[in-house]
Structure 1
């Protein structure tokens, strides 16, 4: 169940090009959040909140970690907030990754850019439950790479950059032939990447987490929708998602 509360910034630092990692103290969200969910953060002077995925949870310290890209005035201002500042947050929101619906014991995680963070929280849970986890992480350049070492602790990890300045050159789909067998995949990233993955893996059981600008974040305003194959025709990304099966959405 979501809740609006005040959370404190415990730490904030730039960990890659225009990418900020922020640790927030939140007794409630850290206790109930599931992999794939997000929080909605109010930024002073801006009408719309910023939806940001939860990268990891520490229930003992009662903290959550988020990562976000500085790509506008709102995120720039959020990045400038100092440790100890109180944030107005709603969360956790959305439906996360359905871990119990996967096939087999080998899982492939495929993340692109700022779509990488929520997969880390998922990967930690899968490893804890005894699954074999492989990961493909895609970034624009070497300067944008983050969390590579964290994912390597979970299992076999491939890093891909568009310009080839680090790891493999190309897109995440370009290294799938090197990964070997896997049973289920979970992916988060930009729509073109998710569409390419769907086309590359039409027979695989998969789940896609969609990145989208949002209005209310709770399913009231229809600002974020995706076309689906069910009788409704469209679903709300913030409320019905952000995670969907690869077969139900039309990208």
Structure 2
């Protein structure tokens, strides 16, 4: 069920370079069922900016009717969102899309994230842990200043960090870490830049995997066709990342 609701800001803080953690409260939280779904945020009460901004759901707290978003403030819309103070209201549309298949993992799962693709993996890790699935987290960032939630992920399982400049953890990309890790897992989940998702698929062609794609969106509900991608089924078969995804089994999407 998709709702539109004015949700109240409970907390907002900067947790890394240009990265903000925003917690809001409202009844819409009770409809969030799958890690990997997202919401569409109206960042201002005016018609400028006109379009909503899609932001992934990082954590769900149904008991308190709260959920957490983690986003990068870099453009006009997200800069306005970063100005929202405690007690302010935000127009939220959601939950949207299809998330990760939590039941697919049986014993051990790799969770592989890059940059702002890391947040949805946190709720996923919590739910997998609750099912008794061991999770290993491989997370990539630009630099030490951009790293967030490292300790939170460590509390849920083995965690590896890669930074492009080598200022923290392993220098390079998540694939440099994957090359050194055993393949003793049954399922992987990944979210991040398209190039990273392609590299992860190439690294584990024999494994069951689920990929969350980052794509520019207009409406967020499948009406505007701004986020269509080809699939491997045929040359004329397309999917919409916002409504059919953003999560798809590995090997389905051609970007």
TM-score, length basis structure 1: 0.97
Work out whether residues 29 and 62 of structure 2, in 8 Å CA contact, stay in contact via their aligned partners in 1.
Answer: no
The counterpart of 1:178, out of the listed 177, 180, 195, is: 180
SS in structure 1 of the partner of residue 229 of structure 2: strand
Preserved CA contact (<8 Å) 1:229 1:248: yes
Whether the 8 Å CA contact 1:94–1:238 is kept in 2: the answer is yes
Secondary structure in structure 2 of the residue aligned to 1:185: strand
Give the match for residue 21 of structure 2: 21
SS of equivalent to 1:75? helix
Helix, strand or coil at the partner of 1:135 = strand
- Aligned length, in residue pairs: 250
Question: More displaced, 227-236 or 48-57?
Answer: 227-236
1:30 and 1:64 in contact (8 A); partners too: no
* Residue 66 (structure 2) aligns with: 63
RMSD: 1.1
Partner of 1:235: 239
Structure 1 alignment gaps of length 5 or more: none
Deviations 1:86-114 (A, max 9, x none): 11110000000011233x41100000001
From 67, 83, 88, give the equivalent of 2:86: 83
CA distance in structure 1 between the partners assigned to 2:32 and 2:137 by the alignment? 25
1:245: which partner in 2?
A: 249
Give the gaps of 5 or more residues in structure 2: none
| Matched-pair contact (CA < 8 Å) for 1:227–1:235 | yes
Which residue in 2 is equivalent to 1:98? 101
| Whole-angstrom distance in 1 between the partners of 2:254 and 2:171 | 28
| CA distance in structure 2 between the aligned counterparts of 1:40 and 1:96, rounded to whole angstroms | 15
**Is 1:115 aligned to 2:117, yes or no?**
yes
Partner of 2:148: 146
